[in-house]
Structure 1
């Protein structure tokens, strides 16, 4: 029994050693093949250096995710697979001895560094990171015909010149611009791939925004150091209104409506009306300060500024109205004959007092309390009516500005 177990263990050991030996043999064979292929390869020369022609680099991007736009910093982040392909005749191994494969994937960073690659960079990048979990997310694949595929996964924070005139009913156009850093257009020419230059996942979600469309184009950038070939993709984004309606517009509407409660309080209820007016004004000021913190300090007026400004006017107007009403309620009538008549529609419960004022035999009122109450009743209609009229102008105007453009082209999937 013991001899049988020993024999089995030795057999397994020999089989394992044989597998490792075959794997090592295969690895050494591929290393020898790559060493022979790159024996006379000069990484400093571009593929068409002997012909003095530019190398055509074809670019395709897959958007893994699209981060939310940061209005305060005017930037946004994307997670992309950047894929570049070109033809390098020096790497053609279709007729090479020992080449029994149609393509080779190179994972060794040292070997990758021995192969020429375009020095592509992002013109409007603020920060970038290549993913390294669980290993460097970089793919270098050689085809037997000499075509090279160079792909990497990167997370980019890109600048975007935003316009906030219609914020939060705005649309933003954000670019991704790439070009060669050191090689002019006589060395590298960039092109978008003909089939799906920008690939998107089936369900791409962008916080607070809808992706309406994107447009790709090829450009040439002119600097004092030369002309550089480049590519640009422009994303057209429209802001969603649900977040701001819930977080800004509805709370401010409620604050303005609460300030109107003072019109139903007695003109001499000084503590209650003052506390109500000051509290609503301070609450609205705090809310407006929080809105400004999420936006850059631009000099022009935004749509949100128009709204908050009107809300402050309404709240401050209610506070000023109480000041005038309280002054009327406590001001003595010196000459009753010079007072004007209050319309009965505004008299309300003071109709009897109004009748007494019109009767010469009756005792005239000593203060303008009746007029103060009439003004309160008038403001109960004027303030909500004025705010309603403002809403009927504000919302259609900015919503039309946001949705007035032609229907967006369907986003390619």
Structure 2
């Protein structure tokens, strides 16, 4: 017995990456030949003889039919408003045509490493539940026409995905298994109880990232830019710079937790995690930069106070010259040597040290260029990898 799917009209309702499944509403049309149902042309006195009979769906339960099921199905149901959405037609040679409308929610193992710039492949598997390949074989359309052009889809619009005709692998007769080998769609898949014929149709969903750009990437980037404003604020305004640093860190933390709350918990790092993690690192470094500025400022002030104390002490150690000295020129020359040799040497060393020391103003100036340059290098590296 050979079974075939003549036509399947699809309408994808939703793709849920959190629950790892997708839902389809479609018409499943099957055809097979049963010689026991063959009949001759019936002449009822009409202009044309009857070569096929369309009977009520109630007779479908009285006939033999393939026990088709969906191995990766999570739940499904037939449509019954206002009556059971199905029909049965029998041709004179015993060929049976059935059409049924149903909704199926199937599992889809999604890989979110590139989220939200990812592309997902979800498949629906069709198979006989009890009959092996010795008893039944499934084909797309027919045995001789595996590239079925009759399979079509309705106008499908998904808010979060791009979906078109090129993304429906319904008229392909081969697929790649996990080892990368090519096998026919209707080839038998080895099971514990024997070999079973299986059809697989693959859907490709390209995620639209516009929503995530507006809700995640753009706000996170603006928060990073706001954290750089502190580089232009006076270093003496400690409350202003501290508040900016703390608020930007809290905002980035909220974005990270809110984004991952809407995603399934996975053990690998996603693209959005890399972006938010890098943004979080930048705002933390901006706050640490101000701490380093404050430390450098305090260190420089302490150095200046020490230098001032040392200069003042040298002047206090100058000897007192008296008019009773016998040799005024010699005493004055000696006094000049005694009074000025030590301070001049210390001051020269301090000035040379001050020339090469790091100033807190230099840190802010360097940060104004270093942080944007780091982001630019990160973006360029991402473009090269892509």
Q: TM-score, normalised by structure 2?
A: 0.75
How many Å apart are 1:179 and its aligned residue?
0.3
1:210 to 2:159 alignment: no
* SS of residue in 2 equivalent to 1:129: strand
Q: 2:153 aligns with which of 184, 200, 214?
A: 200
Cα deviations by residue, 1:310-334 (Å, 9 ceiling, x for unpaired)? 1011111111111111222333544
Deviations 1:200-257 (A, max 9, x none): 23x3323332334314422322222221111111223322232222222111111111
2:12, 2:23 within 8 Å by CA — same for their partners in 1? Answer: yes
Q: Give 1:335 deviation, angstroms.
A: 4.0
Report the equivalent of 1:85: 31
Residue from 40, 59, 65 that aligns with 2:5: 59
Match of 1:102 in 2: 51
Q: Describe the superposition over 1:243-295 as per-residue Cα deviations: whole angstroms up to 9, x where unpaired.
A: 22222211111111111111111223222222211111111111111221232
Aligned pairs for 1:244-255 within 5 A:
244-255=212-223
In 2, distance between residues paired with 1:163 and 1:338?
63
- Please state whether the residue corresponding to 1:305 is helix, strand or coil: helix
- Partner residue in 1 for 2:267: 299
Change (3 A) 1:60 1:255: farther
Structure 1 stretch 203-212 or stretch 80-89: which is displaced more? 203-212
**The residue matched to 2:280 in structure 1 has which SS?**
helix
How many Å apart are 1:379 and its aligned residue?
Answer: 0.6
- Check the 8 A contact 1:71/1:294 in 2, yes or no: no
Runs of 5+ unmatched residues, structure 2: 174-184, 308-346
Instruction: Answer whether contact 2:300 2:359 (CA < 8 A) is retained.
Output: no
| CA shift digits 1:131-154 (9 cap, x unpaired) | 111111111111222111111111
1:6-405 equivalent positions in 2, closer than 5 A: 55-95=1-41, 101-109=50-58, 111-193=59-141, 194=145, 195-196=148-149, 198-201=151-154, 203-211=155-163, 212-213=166-167, 214=169, 215-216=172-173, 217-331=185-299, 333-336=301-304, 371-397=359-385, 400=386
Check whether the contact 1:208–1:240 (CA below 8 A) recurs between aligned residues: yes
Seen in structure 2, the aligned counterparts of structure 1 residues 219 and 271 have a Cα distance that, compared at 3 Å, is farther
What's the CA shift for 1:105? 2.1
Instruction: Specify every segment of 5 or more residues in structure 1 that has no aligned partner in the other structure, as ranges.
Output: 1-54, 340-358, 401-413
Partners of 2:244 and 2:381 in 1: how far apart? 28
Aligned residues between the structures: 321
What's the CA shift for 1:106? Answer: 2.2
User: Secondary structure of 1:77's partner?
Assistant: strand
CA–CA separation in structure 2 for the residues paired with 1:275 and 1:63: 58
Q: Bigger radius of gyration, 1 or 2? A: 2
- Paired position in structure 1 for 2:327: none
Structure 2 equivalent of residue 11 of structure 1: none
Offset, 1:306: 1.1
Contact 1:210/1:240 (8 A) holds in 2:
yes
CA deviation digits over 1:15-59, x for unaligned, max 9?
xxxxxxxxxxxxxxxxxxxxxxxxxxxxxxxxxxxxxxxx11111
Q: Please report how far the alpha carbon of residue 171 of structure 1 lies from its aligned counterpart in structure 2 after TM superposition.
A: 1.9
Higher mean alpha-carbon deviation, 93-102 vs 190-199, is at 93-102
C-alpha RMSD over aligned residues: 3.0
SS in 1 for 2:216: helix
Q: Deviations over 1:342-363 (max 9, x none)?
A: xxxxxxxxxxxxxxxxx98x99
Say if 1:130 and 1:137, in contact at 8 Å, map to a contact too. Answer: yes
Instruction: Please report how far the alpha carbon of residue 197 of structure 1 lies from its aligned counterpart in structure 2 after TM superposition.
Output: 5.4
Task: State TM-score, norm by structure 1.
Answer: 0.71
CA 1:395/1:68 → structure 2, altered by over 3 Å: closer, same or farther? farther
